[in-house]
């Protein structure tokens, strides 16, 4: 199977094509044009402007303070640095509280240069927002498992889906978001076996972060991938690719290669 990165621009339909071809998708975050150019030139399929910028760029303790205006600013900067990669943008905290608010925020992010938006969770109002956006031709990525915008309810950043009831709910949620119209699914901090089952049953490609090796792709926060100190405890699923890569460009190439060949994440980066 062809696992090389395509030269043509990555599109939403190409995500499903990559899955059918057995080519794992490599995603990284970026927050400015300079790093975006490096990611784009070295094989990254999807560049995520995550609300993680609240922690690694703005220095907050969580993603909750990030506003739509912050996201629009960083999306527009990153978009100027991309030629090939698909630009994915987070809807920040409460931007998807109603379908109408989600549409307003998503419209602004797409007008700034994003090709898809991501929202966390699968509650009734989240599914309503996904349906509302999909019906209006806005590509949506869902995000399940550890959803950082729910940190107050979770009481911290913890692995999700270890108990039987929680695992069953995650499986049901994964089917629900795809049925609602999501065309990509991020699974964060869930046991590897559960992520494997969800990926097998999912109608859309899955991207893992702390979800083991069986997803259709992987994502890391750029600062974590480069071994930079963000002021927060490094999660188990993080690997410093700058150590082996020797440069930022080399680290990106090493990460993309490891994702493609399936050597990352290894057993030490996954949860039981």
Question: Domains in the chain, ordered, with CATH?
Answer: 12-269 (3.20.20.60)
Contacting residues for 129 by C-beta, under 8 A, at least 6 apart = 96, 98, 99, 102, 119
The single residue of 163, 188, 243, 261 carrying the catalytic annotation is: 188
Treating both helix axes as pointing N-terminal to C-terminal, what angle do 68-79 and 99-112 enclose, rounded to 10 degrees? 30
User: Is 137 labeled as ligand-binding?
Assistant: no
Residue ranges, the chain, pLDDT below 50: 1-4
End-to-end CA distance of the chain: 29
Q: Please provide the DSSP assignment of 31-70 as one string.
A: -SHHHHHHHHHTT-SEEEE-TTHHHHTS--SSSTT--HHH
Q: What CA–CA distance (Å, rounded) separates 147 from 199?
A: 18
Length of the chain, please? 272
For residues 156 and 114, is the Cβ–Cβ distance under 8 A?
no
> 166, 145, 153: which is closest to 219 by C-alpha?
145
Half-sphere exposure (Cβ direction) of 161: Cα atoms closer than 13 Å: 28
13 CA to centre of own chain: 17
> 242, 195, 239, 233: which is closest to 217 by C-alpha?
195
User: Is 257 labeled as ligand-binding?
Assistant: no
For residues 2 and 23, is the Cβ–Cβ distance under 8 A?
yes
User: Is 120 labeled as ligand-binding?
Assistant: yes
Tokens of 164: 């039987």
This prediction has a pTM of 0.95
User: Is 2 labeled as ligand-binding?
Assistant: no
Cβ neighbour number for residue 88 with a 10 Å cutoff: 26
Q: How far is CA 167 from CA 78, 152, 206, in A?
A: 35, 20, 16
Q: Is 188 a catalytic residue?
A: yes
Query: What pLDDT score was predicted for residue 2?
Result: 40
Backbone angles phi, psi at 114, to 5 degrees: -70, 155
Q: What CA–CA distance (Å, rounded) separates 7 from 28?
A: 18
Q: How far is CA 8 from CA 1, 5, 85, in A?
A: 18, 9, 9
The 8-class DSSP code of residue 21 comes to: H
Q: What CA–CA distance (Å, rounded) separates 76 from 72?
A: 6
User: Is 173 labeled as ligand-binding?
Assistant: no
């Amino acid at each position: 199977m062809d696992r090389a990165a395509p030269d043509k621009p990555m599109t939403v339909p190409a995500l499903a094509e990559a899955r059918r071809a057995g080519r794992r998708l490599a995603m990284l975050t970026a927050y400015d044009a300079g790093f975006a150019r490096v990611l784009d030139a070295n094989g990254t399929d999807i560049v995520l402007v995550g609300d993680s910028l609240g922690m690694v760029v703005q220095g907050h303790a969580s993603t909750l303070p990030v506003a739509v205006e912050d996201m629009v600013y960083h999306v527009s900067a990153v978009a100027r640095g991309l030629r090939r990669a698909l630009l994915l943008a987070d809807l920040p905290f409460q931007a998807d509280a109603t379908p109408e608010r989600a549409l307003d925020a998503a419209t602004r992010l797409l007008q700034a240069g994003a090709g898809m938006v991501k929202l966390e969770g699968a509650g009734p109002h989240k599914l309503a927002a996904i349906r509302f956006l999909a019906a209006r031709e806005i590509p949506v990525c869902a995000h399940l498992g550890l959803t950082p915008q729910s940190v107050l309810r979770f009481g911290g950043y913890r692995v999700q889906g270890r108990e039987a009831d929680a695992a069953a709910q995650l499986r049901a949620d994964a089917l629900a978001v795809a049925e609602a119209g999501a065309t990509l699914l991020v699974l964060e901090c869930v046991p590897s076996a559960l992520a494997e089952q969800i990926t097998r049953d999912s109608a859309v490609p899955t991207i893992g972060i702390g979800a083991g090796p069986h997803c259709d792709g992987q994502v890391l926060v750029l600062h974590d991938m480069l071994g930079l100190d963000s002021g927060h405890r490094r999660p188990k699923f993080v690997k410093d690719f700058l150590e082996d890569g020797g440069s930022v460009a080399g680290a990106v190439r090493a990460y993309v290669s490891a994702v493609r060949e399936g050597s990352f994440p290894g057993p030490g980066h996954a949860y039981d």
